């Protein structure tokens, strides 16, 4: 095993190698950060498994809303076009929000993307496994179903963890599909077929990784298209403000204006020849503030400096919708999609959320019981004996009032499933 770990460390950058080895060493899935390796032995049973979706918190519920409501294909013929039936009507989803460890977008600013990458692979392992914690109980339980697909609903997690998860799934030799929100978003840009420049609004971490400009350039290049100017702007405030976090006291419109201005300035600094036309909403929360962002660009156009460099009509790319389409295609390609008369092994969608685990020795908590900020951002990868958070079933009562309001008012399909 030691030799295997050394070999893996060369082929796959740590920390994924540590977790790959750890899961190999615990094939019954009883240990933390491991899963039952025998779960996908029967291919017909695999098809009936639910689909896992994860995010750093509740923002990814916007992606789940898109998954629950997408009607872009004919369910029986798989042809493009709406047929009045949700495309995933037979499927069930398991959603996981790693709320205890978020914001993911801020790990890069403190040079802790190594730990962030470990967290992201742990998210995938949680969804693959049966192990979860009851809301109040001293021992984990093992009745959560495994999944047949993993949707990385978080832009930052896709930026830092998509390749690790793909490598891990290949190393474990499990037939699980992995779809990330960034590749889907880049495909959304391609399909939008516009001529103008591209602006990406995302977290600080996503922008620092350069994943959107890189993936959009590759996607356009592979399709034989020329690559226009791509500017990006990373925000440390907009997602929190959209969630109603009191640490961000100004209105969503005020934060949206600040980020739109910064993006427009970055765009102008890149010496573009065409106006900024396509805006990628590269953070889970931003589709919820689309109209505020659009209004901000409208008022920027009234300024002399921006008038000719911002298109009169912008086109917004919402990677959530593109991800839903991508998942449909991938499931169909792998013959893992449930057909009209079939039912999932899971009766209802399930939701989980991480919370701090005070029983873990060495853990430091804030006054409200969450992980202390300094503790959170100073952790090192490679300590798989430490379980300082627990993944428990998410119920509406666990959501902070502002998030609850957001889900109830803006994500009706998710709310219906969550408040059942
Ligand atoms: N879900 C994250 C994303 O889409 C935003 C929140 C965070 O930083 O954790 O990038």
Same domain, 330 and 406: yes
**The last residue of a domain, from among 267, 285, 319:** 319
pLDDT for 25: 97
102 within ligand 1 shell (Cβ under 6 A) = yes
Same domain, 160 and 237: no
**Mean pLDDT in residue range 238-251:** 91
**The last residue of a domain, from among 319, 341, 365:** 319
The tally of domains found in the chain comes to 2
Per-chain mean pLDDT for the chain: 94
209 within ligand 1 shell (Cβ under 6 A) = no
Residue 94 burial by CB count (10 A; 0-12/13-18/19+): exposed, middle or buried?
buried
How many angstroms separate the alpha carbon of residue 236 from the centre of ligand 1? 10
Residue 390 has pLDDT above 90, yes or no: yes
Same domain, 129 and 47: yes
- Give the tokens for residue 55: 């995010």
4-13 residue pLDDT tens: 444 444 444 5
pLDDT for 3: 47
How many angstroms separate the alpha carbon of residue 159 from the centre of ligand 1? 11
Same domain, 257 and 378: no
Same domain, 189 and 235: yes
How many angstroms separate the alpha carbon of residue 344 from the centre of ligand 1? 29
Same domain, 176 and 198: no
pLDDT for 7: 45
Same domain, 312 and 327: no
List the one residue out of 28, 9, 99 whose CA is nearest residue 356: 99
**pLDDT band, very low/low/confident/very high, at 244 (cuts 50, 70, 90):** confident
Mutate to test the pocket of ligand 1, among 154, 204, 238, 240 (most ligand atoms within 8 A of CB): 154
**Mean pLDDT in residue range 187-211:** 95
**The last residue of a domain, from among 319, 336, 359:** 319
Mutate to test the pocket of ligand 1, among 53, 55, 119 (most ligand atoms within 8 A of CB): 55
pLDDT for 13: 55
Higher-pLDDT residue of 420 and 158 is: 158
Question: What whole-number percentage of the chain has pLDDT above 90?
Answer: 91
**Against a cut of 0.75, is the pTM above it?**
yes
Same domain, 335 and 354: yes
Same domain, 249 and 365: no
d(CA 96, CA 371): 18
Same domain, 148 and 193: no
125-169 residue pLDDT tens: 999 999 999 999 889 999 999 999 999 999 999 999 999 999 999
Same domain, 408 and 349: yes
Same domain, 143 and 230: no
Residue 226 has pLDDT above 50, yes or no: yes
212 within ligand 1 shell (Cβ under 6 A) = no
pLDDT for 138: 86
Mutate to test the pocket of ligand 1, among 58, 97, 98, 104 (most ligand atoms within 8 A of CB): 104
- Domain of 220? 184-319
Cβ neighbors of 111 (< 8 A, separation 6 or more) are: none
Residue 199 belongs to domain with CATH number: 3.40.50.1860
């Amino acid at each position: 095993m030691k030799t295997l770990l050394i070999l893996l460390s060369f082929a796959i950058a740590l920390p994924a190698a540590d977790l790959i080895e750890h899961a190999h060493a615990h094939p019954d899935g009883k240990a933390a950060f491991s899963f039952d390796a025998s779960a996908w032995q029967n291919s017909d049973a695999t098809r009936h498994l639910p689909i896992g979706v994860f995010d750093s918190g509740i923002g990814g519920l916007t992606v789940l809303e898109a998954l629950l409501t997408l009607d872009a294909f004919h369910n029986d013929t798989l042809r493009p076009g709406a047929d009045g039936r949700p495309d995933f009507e037979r499927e069930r989803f398991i959603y996981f929000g790693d709320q205890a460890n978020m914001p993911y977008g801020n790990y890069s600013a403190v040079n802790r993307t190594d730990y962030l990458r470990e967290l992201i692979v742990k998210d995938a392992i949680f969804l693959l496994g049966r192990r979860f914690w009851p809301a109040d109980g001293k021992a984990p339980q093992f009745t959560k179903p495994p999944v047949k697909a993993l949707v990385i609903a978080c832009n930052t997690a896709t930026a830092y963890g998509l390749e690790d998860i793909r490598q891990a799934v290949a190393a474990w030799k499990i037939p699980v599909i992995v779809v990330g929100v960034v590749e889907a978003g880049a495909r959304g840009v391609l399909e939008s077929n516009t001529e103008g420049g591209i602006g990406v609004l995302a977290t600080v971490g996503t922008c620092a990784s350069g994943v959107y400009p890189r993936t959009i350039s590759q996607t356009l290049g592979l399709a034989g298209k020329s690559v226009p100017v791509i500017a990006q702007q990373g925000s440390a405030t907009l997602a929190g403000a959209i969630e109603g976090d009191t640490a961000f006291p100004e209105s969503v419109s005020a934060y949206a204006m600040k980020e739109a201005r910064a993006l427009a300035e970055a765009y102008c600094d890149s010496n573009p020849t065409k106006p900024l036309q396509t805006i990628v909403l590269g953070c889970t929360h931003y589709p919820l503030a689309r109209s505020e962002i659009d209004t901000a660009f409208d008022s920027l156009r009234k300024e002399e400096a921006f008038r000719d460099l911002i298109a009169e009509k912008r086109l917004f790319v919402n990677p959530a919708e593109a991800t839903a389409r991508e998942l449909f295609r991938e499931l169909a390609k792998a013959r893992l999609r449930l057909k009209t008369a079939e039912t999932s092994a899971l009766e209802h969608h399930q939701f989980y959320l991480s919370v701090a685990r005070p029983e873990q020795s060495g853990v430091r908590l804030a006054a409200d019981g969450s992980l202390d900020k300094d503790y959170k951002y100073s952790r090192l990868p490679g300590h798989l004996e430490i379980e300082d958070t627990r993944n428990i079933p998410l119920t509406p009562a666990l959501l902070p009032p502002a998030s609850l309001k957001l889900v109830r008012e803006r994500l009706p399909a998710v709310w219906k499933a969550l408040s059942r």
